[in-house]
Structure 1
Amino acid sequence: MEHNLLEHSGISSIFKDILLPYFCQDPATIGNLAQTCRFFNQAIPNKVKANAKRQHLLNNFYGQLQLLSELGIEKQLIKCVMVGDSNTHKTELQTTFCRTDFDLEQRSTIGIDFRTKTYTTKNGSITLQIWNTAGQERYRGITEAYYRDAHVVFIVVDLVQDLQLNTLRSWHNAVLNSAPNATRVVLLNSSLHKGITIAPQEAIRHIRTQLNEDIPCFAVDSSEPTNSMNEKALLTSVSLALKKQILAMEEQQTDVSNDDHAPVANESKCIMM
């Protein structure tokens, strides 16, 4: 699929209003990167630069830690809940996410289990609580109680098993009914443990159609404890939740600031005669 950069409003206005006239005035500057960069730094307003930098930070996991620090939050706890049918390798995925001792012969989870992983930078730290829930029907009630304060819910499914595709809708509905509106729902395809290297795109499209939601989907490998694909899936999912949280906090701060500067209505004075 081709993407037209000019469809992005910010890039469009910068290019058309500033860079395009500059290049038309002297076409030779197109090949002079250093000169173009100097002009760009001088011509682009500081506010535009600041917004561009903020957007870059907002779309990057470690950049989001910086934004949280600027909002006064040095430590952050993100709760991630993994749900799905039995035998979808949730326990192995939880182990790879947390980089703990890896056991290829994991047993079924009984009820609820959670582990933590902490990322620390100069801007602060973020701790991920990764909850692993049993997939058996008798534990569904326990599982739903843990949706309520979750930031991310991973629905783990083996896309090569038709039976699991049939139960996926019930897991999705349970999340929608019990989780907060701000919770990010992410699909993890764990079929790579069988040596399948390409995610079944038709199955993913079918799932998104059935769920009526363009749900993020990542392929993960539960058999490889140090797979970078798993780390990317985890951080990208958490990043989606953090972005939503940061935007909500900034909007709240803006509302408070506007209230502080709002003009106070003149009190009516009634004189009794």
Structure 2
Amino acid sequence: LDFAFVLHHFLHLPFFSQCFSPNAALHTKDGFHPQVKAVCRVPKGGTVSFNIAKVIVVGDVAVGKTCLISRFCKGEFDKNYKATIGVDFEMERFEVLGVPFSLQLWDTAGQERFKCIASTYYRGAQAIIVVFDLSSVGSLAHARQWLEDAMKENDPSSVLLFLVGTKKDLSVGAASDVSYLDVQRLHSEC
């Protein structure tokens, strides 16, 4: 079976894998959250219903938002940088505990001139992924503003937040590298 084909067309998730950091976990044990299990057990009356979640990905220009989405959805990494103009969109389909589930990934432009266009797509997100470049302290500093802008369009009590650092392979001892303490500081403020 071709991994890229499976990843791109349909994923089956019978359980959560262990998280890199226990603090980043959405669950406390290996398995699905009780609310997820409860939703999946609700009878659907013989019809297939798709549960859809909207995820917006925000951050400075060239921090790796598009590459992150491309790697997740297509299983590939494109080294040729092409700036996102406005907003781009990808859809991934999963099966969670036997229930079809679709994940909409909204890739927003990081340039200031497209900010007003991209912000109109922030509404109704169930999750916000704020991306920063581990080799750029400035991109982490700007992450706070990206998060504030995205939260203006959503209910803070119902949105899952993720702070993702990219380009770890490019940040080897540079003076501009983001420190773990900088990330922890921003995390505690959110």
CA displacement at 1:93 relative to structure 2: 0.2
1:150 CA drift (Å): 0.6
Q: TM-score, structure 2 length as denominator?
A: 0.70
- Cα–Cα, structure 1 residues 179 and 112, in superposed 2: closer, same or farther, change >3 Å? same
Check whether the contact 2:131–2:143 (CA below 8 A) recurs between aligned residues: no
Deviations 1:120-158 (A, max 9, x none): 256211111111000001111122212211111101011
Q: Is the 8 A contact 2:135 2:171 kept in 1?
A: no
> In 2 relative to 1, CA 154–121 (structure 1 residues): closer, same or farther, beyond 3 Å?
closer
Q: Residue 69 in 1 paired to residue 40 in 2?
A: yes
Mapping of residues 10-49 of structure 1, within 5 Å: none
Name the structure 1 match of 2:32: 60
Give the match for residue 84 of structure 2: 109
From 71, 74, 90, the counterpart of 2:65? 90
Find the partner of 2:186 among 161, 185, 207.
207
User: Does the aligned pair in 1 maintain the 2:57–2:130 contact within 8 Å?
Assistant: yes
> Partners of 1:141 and 1:71 in 2: how far apart?
39
| Alpha-carbon displacement from aligned partner over 1:145-195 (angstroms, at most 9, x marks no partner) | 122111111010113312213322211211221122311121111132416
- Judging changes above 3 Å, is the alpha-carbon distance between structure 1 residues 69 and 168 closer, same or farther for their aligned structure 2 residues? closer
Aligned with residue 164 of structure 2, among 182, 188, 192:
188
Distance 2:112 2:74 in 1: 29
Structure 2 segments unaligned to the other structure (5+ residues): 1-27
Matches within 5 A, 1:150-229: 150-181=125-156, 182-194=158-170, 196=172, 200-209=179-188, 212-213=189-190
Q: How many residues align?
A: 154
Give distance in 2, aligned partners of 1:183 and 1:109. Answer: 24
Residues 81 and 154 in structure 1, CA contact (< 8 A), matched pair in contact too: yes
Q: CA deviation at 1:101?
A: 4.7
Higher strand fraction: Structure 1 or Structure 2? 2
Q: List alignment gaps of at least 5 residues for structure 1.
A: 1-54, 214-273
Point out the structure with max Rg over C-alpha: 1
Aligned residue type for 1:86: V
Contact 1:148 1:180 in 2 (8 A): no
CA distance in 2, matches of 1:104, 1:110: 18
- Percent identical pairs in the alignment equals 25
Matching residue of 1:252:
none
Distance 2:74 2:51 in 1: 20
Deviation at 1:72, TM superposition (A): 3.8
What amino acid maps onto 1:67 in structure 2?
A
TM-score by length of 1: 0.50
